[in-house]
Amino acid sequence: MDETKEIPTPSADRRDDAVPSAPRENEIVSKEEESDAEDAGNEKAPERPSRLSRLRFSKKKDMPGGLWLKCESCGQVIYRKELEEKGRVCPACDFHFTLPGSDRIRATLDEGTWREEYADLTPLDRLEFSEKVSYAEKIQNTLKRTGQNEAYLCGRGKILGRPVVLGVLDFSFMGGSMGEVVGEKFALAVELAERESLPMISFTSSGGARMHEGVISLMQMAKTCAALDRFNAAGGFSVSVMTHPTTGGVTASFASVCDITLAEPGALIGFAGPRVIATTIKQELPPGFQRAEFMLEKGMIDAIVRRTDLRDTLAKLVDYAGGD
């Protein structure tokens, strides 16, 4: 049954000229992680998933400056400005759209408190991985497009006055995929938190491991857990917030083993991407499969928190972690 390892069906059309900050299908992913996360919004029209996802990510629709866009989850056509005003939460179904990393930091920390660390680390093409364009070239293009050196942003900041270390895995940079530098920055962030006795607050949106870095990506699952293990032994406190989508090697490592795991409503959370599963088992997936609500019901996360309540919740959890 070698089929289990086949991951056919990459359906979303992928473009190399990405649209700034639009969550797009991710090129990365590993095997199980094949996170066509976006595809998951699809329960409504299982008959044509690939076509749907193509629509959803068509340039016209998601072009910045376009006035309207369609909700990934309920299909409602939303006025872009209204969506932005609501913090990228669908006014019709409350689906929480993926937030670009910089927006996430802004939405989480007190104004003016963000001090980024390790921002200079940039991805390495150790395998000299080549497809249509080389990975090295892809890195350069993504750097230019996003103005960021990697998918992981980390540093110090304050949440309602409480100092924390914040790390954000940003889907808009190569699908938030975890390569060597993402793993390294997470580990460095955890170590910073340990040194300064601060809580570690981790946000994720990711398709999983970064294929272009091969087994080195895979080893980041071990590296991030190694750092967390030491942090735990030193009495550190960590909170993971899984946002849409968090899949593959990221879910199967640091995102799932923080002290408290939260999720935003509707977030896709899983190991294998829904398309991989549907292909493997050759049947339709149940409605709501792998959504935050589903994972809560199955006992896999501690709580679902709406975006507007996250700051209060994180501050409260940090207070509890201080003991009585």
Partner 1 sequence: MSESPKSNEVGVGGMAFERPIEEIEAKISELESLSQSTKLDISSEIDALNKRLREQIEATYARLGAWDRVNVARNSKRPVASEYIATILDDFFELHGDRAFGDDRAIVTGLATVEGRRFMLVAHRKGRTTKERLDCNFGCAHPEGYRKALRKMRLAEKMGLPIVSFVNTPGAYPGIGAEERGQAMAIAENILAMFALRVPILVIVIGEGGSGGALGIGVGDRVLMMEYAYYSVISPEGCAAILWKDGERSPDAAEALKLTANDLLRLGVVDGIIPEPLGGAHRAPDDAMRQVKAAILSALDELALVPPDELVAARYRKYRTMAAIDGRFPAPPSAGRADDR
Site for partner 1 in 120-149 (CB under 8 A): 121, 124, 126-127, 129-132
Q: Kindly report the number of other CB atoms within 10 A of residue 305's CB atom.
A: 20
Residue 222 makes contact with partner 1 by CB under 8 A: yes
Instruction: Tell me, residue by residue from 42 to 81, as one string, x for binding to partner 1 by CB under 8 A and - for no binding.
Output: ----------------------------------------
Which of 61-69, 143-151, 166-174, 220-228 is the region at the interface with partner 1 (rule: CB under 8 A)?
Answer: 220-228
Residue 282 makes contact with partner 1 by CB under 8 A: no
Residue 267 makes contact with partner 1 by CB under 8 A: no
CB of 34 to partner 1, least distance (A): 7
C-alpha span between 321 and 265 (Å, rounded)? 24
C-alpha span between 162 and 153 (Å, rounded)? 19
Nearer to partner 1, 114 or 289 (CB): 289
Residue 256 makes contact with partner 1 by CB under 8 A: yes
Residue 281 makes contact with partner 1 by CB under 8 A: yes
Q: Which of 119, 296, 300, 315 binds partner 1 (CB under 8 A)?
A: 300
Residue 150 makes contact with partner 1 by CB under 8 A: no
Residue 227 makes contact with partner 1 by CB under 8 A: yes
**Whose CA is closest to 117, among 166, 163, 159, 161?**
166
Query: Could you tell me where the beta strands, DSSP code E, fall in 41-188?
Result: 68-70, 77-79, 115-117, 152-159, 162-169
Residue 209 makes contact with partner 1 by CB under 8 A: yes
Alpha carbon separation from 322 to 136, 163, 197, 198, 299 (Å, rounded): 44, 12, 11, 10, 26
Residue 8 makes contact with partner 1 by CB under 8 A: yes
Residue 286 makes contact with partner 1 by CB under 8 A: yes
CB of 74 to partner 1, least distance (A): 22
Residue 251 makes contact with partner 1 by CB under 8 A: yes
Residue 118 makes contact with partner 1 by CB under 8 A: yes
Which phi and psi (to 5°) does residue 85 adopt?
A: -60, -30
Residue 285 makes contact with partner 1 by CB under 8 A: yes
Residue 93 makes contact with partner 1 by CB under 8 A: no
Contacts of 245 (CB under 8 A, 6+ apart): 35, 37, 38, 40, 98, 171, 205, 206, 207, 267, 268, 269
Contacts of 252 (CB under 8 A, 6+ apart): 32, 33, 221, 271
Would you give the distance in Å from CA 245 to the centre of its chain?
Answer: 5
HSE at residue 47, side-chain half, CA atoms within 13 A, is: 0
CB of 290 to partner 1, least distance (A): 6
Which of 139-147, 164-172, 221-229, 312-320 is the region at the interface with partner 1 (rule: CB under 8 A)?
Answer: 221-229
The burial class, CB within 10 Å (0-12 / 13-18 / 19+), for 177 is: buried
Q: Which of 84, 195, 303, 308 binds partner 1 (CB under 8 A)?
A: 195
Rounded to 10°, the helix 180-195/214-233 angle is 10
Residue 225 makes contact with partner 1 by CB under 8 A: yes
Q: Kindly report the number of other CB atoms within 10 A of residue 11's CB atom.
A: 17
